[in-house]
Structure 1
Amino acid sequence: MKRLFSLLLFIYISGATMAQDQKAKEFYDKGVKSFVARKPSDATESLLKAIEQDSTYADAYFKLGQMSETARNEGNAMKYYAKAIQFKPEEPSYRQAYTYVGTRALRAGDYQKAKPLLEYALKQSPPGSMIVKQLNKQLETCNFAIEAQQKKLSFAAKDMGEAINFKTYQYFPVLTADNETLFFTARSNEGDENLFSSQFVDGKWSKPESISSNINTPANEGTCSISADGRTLVFTSCDAKDSFGSCDLYISKKVGDEWSAPENLGLNINTHEWEAQPSLSNDGHILYFSSKRRGGFGEKDLWMSELVNNVWSPAVNLGNTINTDKDDISPFIHANGHTLFFASEGHTGMGGFDLFMTEQKLNTYTKPQNLGYPINTHEDQVALFITSDGKKGYYSFNTKQTTRLYEFDIPQELSTRFSRVNYVKGIVQDAQTKKNISADIELIDLKTGKTIERVKSDTKTGQYTAVLPNGSHFGLFINKDNYFNKSLSFDFSEKTDANGKTVNVSLEPIRKDVDIVLNNIFFDSGKAELRPESFAELDKLLLLLKGNPQVKVEISGHTDNVGKDTDNLALSQSRADAVVSYLVSKGAIATNVKAVGYGETRPIAANDTDENRQMNRRIEMKIF
């Protein structure tokens, strides 16, 4: 009897369940008919009743998911699609649900969840269809991100605090080469973008100030770039009166404490399309920027222009090694002059905009490298600045409510991938009057003879800044008409770290009986043969002699006090003779130059340290 009762109860429950499923099916069919008849409210009501009758009704969930996706109700679409997958897993017709849920998981940075969903969607997609291309790209992102997270960089970003983050939105930070002045864009909720600057004083950043009333206007000014010395500014202005259309790039120069009225960079750079996000080279002679103009490879591309004879050359596209069919934006050329950082949606990354780096070699660019996790995440990373010494990075991070500036120490794993640079700064003055003067400053690689950089000291303040890379021997030549040239020597052939130094320069007016040290004349120890690194200095002196054929100069050789007096005297004479022979061989009038060796008799420093003895081993010139 008990077995008979149990059997009857089972038959009753099964019949009731089948009846309930049938009722759910009726609601489902009614909902589909309403959907086809474009009655979404009726369709939703019927489908919800279907899942009330059968909470495992996968097809009803799937249809609700489709309707929610069409209505752009992401919350409901995710909820219903997930239920459909749960109750009817690996259903081929649910490819849309797998794609939708997988894509959202990818956007949220849940790569482990996204990957199997997208893999199944790909499996069910028609070969050669557009969705296959999308899914393959998304799976490439998943695989890259999972591997990148396993190779996590040592990275900890620090909010720059309320003093700097004083408005609702702050972004696109840039610094001068000495890391003492910060420029950035800021705007309030009202929407007017302006440029601000802050000084690093006593270990902290000062209260930001508007860069200049000549620059900030009721129109939007932002996303700027600054030269190494902080005196050439290129920035973006949108809808200005003299704009060619959309956003254009403008330039302003600082003389003393005043910024000049901005000038549109002209049709070689600006078009009626969007141009923005500039990045200047150290000396302000090369400009990188992003533009949506024609002639690119997709959406926004990276472009470059060079200042030649004081005219910006027609912008050229950086090519498809860097640019993709998606947006490639926010270029930043590091102070080393050959490492370019930028943001891209098109290169493989963590999803959205990631930061990449590439090296310029022989007018080509290497394949861009992702900067890695967690510098890059599933969020958009756009604007990056890395200091000239390679020690710190600055960027902006945005939430739905605000955008703030952050700083971080460059991870060791990243710092080994690009070269750091040094800087030298100071003031150029007249040696007699102590008046600040403007002079031409040229950085030459003494090993190759190539000019690396040309800058000027400020007309009013006399201030200058030059950037010196590692890996070679450099001469810094300070030139001004009617003054003797001044040269500084920096041997960074074996240097790997980076730092800065202050060197004030006094230029002597051209006159008789002034001893000028030629700092970039080199000989091997105990020998009198000129090393090739000497030629840049000698060629500068040659220009002076040829330009002033009436001038007669004495070239004098000097040594330290190590060794015999007679040997030192002979060596100094031989070295002076070598310099004169070079000058005469290159066209100097033989009767206008004479060589004198003084040996160790005229030291300019005590011979008590290696550094002082090196100062005493020198070649000088003077007019007689």
Structure 2
Amino acid sequence: MYKCLIISILTWFSCIVSVYAQAIPKEARNYLEEGKIYYDGANYLKALDSYLGAYKFVPNDPGVNYSIALCYIQTYSYDKALTYLIPAKKAGIKDPLLDYYMGLAYHANSNIDEALKSLTAFQSTLRSSDKELTAQTAKYITYCNNAKTLMLTPVKMTITNLGASVNSAYPDYNPAISVDESTIIYTSRRPNSTGGLISEMDGHYFEDIYMSNKQTNNSWGTSIQIDQTINTTSHDACVGLSSEGQTMIVYKDDGGGDLYYSNLSGQNWSKPISFGKAINTDGWEACGNFSPDGNYLFFVSNKKGGFGGTDIYYAVKNAAGVWGAPVNMGPEINTKEDEFSPYLHADGKTFYFSSQAHTSMGGFDIFQSTIDLSMQPIAVKSKPENLGYPINTVGDEIYFVWSADNKRAYFSSAREGGLGDKDLYLLERPVAKAALVLLKGTISDCKTKEFIQASITVTDIESGKLIGKYVSNSSTGKYIVTLPAGKNYSITVEAKGYLFHSKNINIPKLEEFKEIDDVICLDKIDIGTTIVLNNVFFDVNKSTLRKESETELDKLFDILSKNPKIKIEVAGHTDSDGDTQANLTLSDARAHTVKDYLIGKGISADRIIYVGHGEGKPVVPNDTPENKQLNRRTEIKILEN
């Protein structure tokens, strides 16, 4: 997937082998000649195989060692190059770029002091006309200095390999998780890749997408390859997942590389659909992620007009579900280098991304910043902060995705002790904060107990603003909703042919992460069915309807409009506080107010009756403030249909 800048090697490289090959055996010489042909044709992987073949016969030959090192450098395996650069330099290989390569190789092996020595020595040889090399050398010296600073104060954490049920002997990367961490979807390059094709660029099989679900013992189940609706004979990579796990962002190697989305219906993913010309351009759209509410798409592009190579952009989805024109995240996030893998945490404000700039200690490091979605363009409220060492290393750290409680991250890395190439890992840190509620559970039919697909609408009660829309899975009934602290939420669950279910969740302040498990069932629109209007509110000790009640009453109006034969009873209830007769009068007046609201919207008066029960029909004992709140309610009962 990655498109990187290739550093040119001096054209006299081909002379190196011939100079040092005078006393080389015939078998080795054949390998060297073959390697030179491949190298001159920029096929560095095949050239490497040939030079390694020669190395078996002449492991001490400086020209062979240097040839191997240059192949590793051309394929960005700087860490592997060091083994061959050291003997080549000791033997007297002369190349104006040698100290530069030594610096890159020492840096890749976390030998920062030696890297600085080599880079500084090389820097002293540069002329004013060597602008590109001057800039590159200065960048790596900065990386080294950043690394020295960050390595002085390592972050407390543990890193665990996700194991053989997920990882393989082949590259496994790009983890995407549902916000409850029950599902992980990732990209792998295994021999059973759809089509079985091998990339000439890096020698690996083409990308396919795999999935694993967490088991009851908290381990990951055996991964399965997603079917050919998603995986094709070309490159297919999962680069993002919606918070509830129902929509996947897929990278396809079309044209310059574009982004698609696929929706999960039951157990089946839909055929990927392009995000369209608003998002995809003639450039490279490499990866993306949704905001927790699904209303923002953060993505990476190298299209013209950015600050550097790849920049992070965002687009906003309108009420019709159409993505608006992309907006660059601005110079607070984007730099003249590359930015990658954006991820907005479930709290809706903590923004993670990878960057080769800012205070990176080498390649891509993970940074976090606070953003404000309520402002347009999005406001960056804090300077990007490096997550520290050893979360970040001298290599590339990209595609970190974080748990809702902010304590765990999933990422890919090629580390010692892995199962093969890149593996997926779990990072855990002991201290983290996340001021949000994770509401999750299942939705089913109250009578049959069968799971159903329902829509969940989240609204800010005070402003009436739509926060987000979510969908439960039709096969499992599972739903997940994230609720950042600081708002009073109206939650409405709806499905065709059913009465809606509502909840009120008020989260004015929250110091830490909280989970709420709520199993919801919906009743069909049948005679005798009763629902509670949990988001209908009145002024204290009055029957005056508060404005924030209108969203819920409008949903009731919608049901009555679409079902003209329905007749209902509106029943008001109070708790046991105060005078019994006063409570009866108040409940009757409140029920009447609801009837009047519906009549005012256009519902015929003869379809609605109202009654007040006062404190006479409690659903729970009036012995706690919480129970009293449950008893203060407005109910709707279906009388005719």
Range into which the TM-score falls when normalised by the shorter chain: 0.7 to 0.9
Give percent identity, aligned residues only.
32
Partner of 1:559: 574
In the alignment, is residue 618 of structure 1 matched against residue 640 of structure 2?
A: no
Alignment of 1:333-412 (within 5 A): 333-361=344-372, 362=375, 363-366=377-380, 367-399=383-415, 402-412=421-431
Q: Which moved more, 1:341-350 or 1:139-148?
A: 139-148
> 1:191 Cα shift?
1.3
> 1:365 Cα shift?
4.0
SS at match of 1:157: strand
**CA displacement 1:389-422 (0-9 Å, x = unmatched):** 323111111159611111022352xx34x64441
Partner of 1:57: none
Distance in 1, matches of 2:159 and 2:15, equals 51
Distance in 2, matches of 1:511 and 1:358, equals 51
Distance in 1, matches of 2:393 and 2:176, equals 22
Partner residue of 1:474 out of 489, 495, 499: 489
Q: Which moved more, 1:375-384 or 1:491-500?
A: 491-500
Distance in 1, matches of 2:84 and 2:171, equals 32
> 1:156 Cα shift?
1.4
SS at match of 2:627: helix
> 1:502 Cα shift?
3.8
CA contact (8 A) 2:345 2:404 kept: yes
**CA displacement 1:132-186 (0-9 Å, x = unmatched):** 6556545544444333333322111111122221232211111112211111111
> 1:457 Cα shift?
3.3
CA contact (8 A) 1:99 1:118 kept: yes
> 1:76 Cα shift?
8.3
In the alignment, is residue 197 of structure 1 matched against residue 211 of structure 2?
A: yes
In the alignment, is residue 290 of structure 1 matched against residue 300 of structure 2?
A: yes
Which letter maps to 1:339? T
Q: Which moved more, 1:363-372 or 1:520-529?
A: 520-529
Label 1:219 to 1:298 Cα distance change in 2 as closer, same or farther (>3 A): same
In the alignment, is residue 250 of structure 1 matched against residue 260 of structure 2?
A: yes
Label 1:543 to 1:120 Cα distance change in 2 as closer, same or farther (>3 A): same
Aligned length: 551
TM-score by length of 1: 0.75
Label 1:334 to 1:616 Cα distance change in 2 as closer, same or farther (>3 A): same
SS at match of 2:214: strand
Q: Which moved more, 1:191-200 or 1:132-141?
A: 132-141
Stretches of structure 1 that go unaligned for 5 or more consecutive residues are 1-35, 46-63, 85-94
> 1:127 Cα shift?
8.8
SS at match of 2:535: coil
In the alignment, is residue 275 of structure 1 matched against residue 285 of structure 2?
A: yes
Distance in 2, matches of 1:405 and 1:582, equals 56
Partner of 2:248: 233
Provide the aligned C-alpha RMSD in A: 4.1
> 1:200 Cα shift?
1.0
Label 1:225 to 1:584 Cα distance change in 2 as closer, same or farther (>3 A): same
TM-score by length of 2: 0.73
Partner of 1:60: none
**CA displacement 1:455-509 (0-9 Å, x = unmatched):** 2334555443322222222111123455432211222223333344443333334
CA contact (8 A) 1:167 1:187 kept: no
Partner of 2:6: none
Distance in 2, matches of 1:463 and 1:80, equals 60
> 1:263 Cα shift?
3.0
Partner of 1:188: 190
Which letter maps to 1:447? E
SS at match of 1:396: strand
In the alignment, is residue 439 of structure 1 matched against residue 439 of structure 2?
A: no
Partner of 2:73: none
Label 1:528 to 1:372 Cα distance change in 2 as closer, same or farther (>3 A): farther
SS at match of 2:615: coil
SS at match of 1:178: coil
Partner of 2:7: none
Distance in 1, matches of 2:292 and 2:17, equals 62
SS at match of 1:380: coil
CA contact (8 A) 2:307 2:336 kept: yes
SS at match of 1:205: coil
Distance in 1, matches of 2:113 and 2:332, equals 30
**CA displacement 1:541-567 (0-9 Å, x = unmatched):** 344456667765443221233444234
In the alignment, is residue 534 of structure 1 matched against residue 549 of structure 2?
A: yes
Q: By percentage of residues, which structure has more helix?
A: 1
Partner of 2:470: 455
Alignment of 1:444-593 (within 5 A): 444-459=459-474, 462-522=477-537, 530=545, 533-544=548-559, 553-577=568-592, 579=594
Which letter maps to 1:205? W
> 1:453 Cα shift?
0.9
Partner of 2:273: 263
Distance in 2, matches of 1:167 and 1:312, equals 39
Distance in 2, matches of 1:483 and 1:41, equals 78
CA contact (8 A) 1:169 1:402 kept: yes
CA contact (8 A) 2:238 2:248 kept: no
Label 1:124 to 1:582 Cα distance change in 2 as closer, same or farther (>3 A): farther
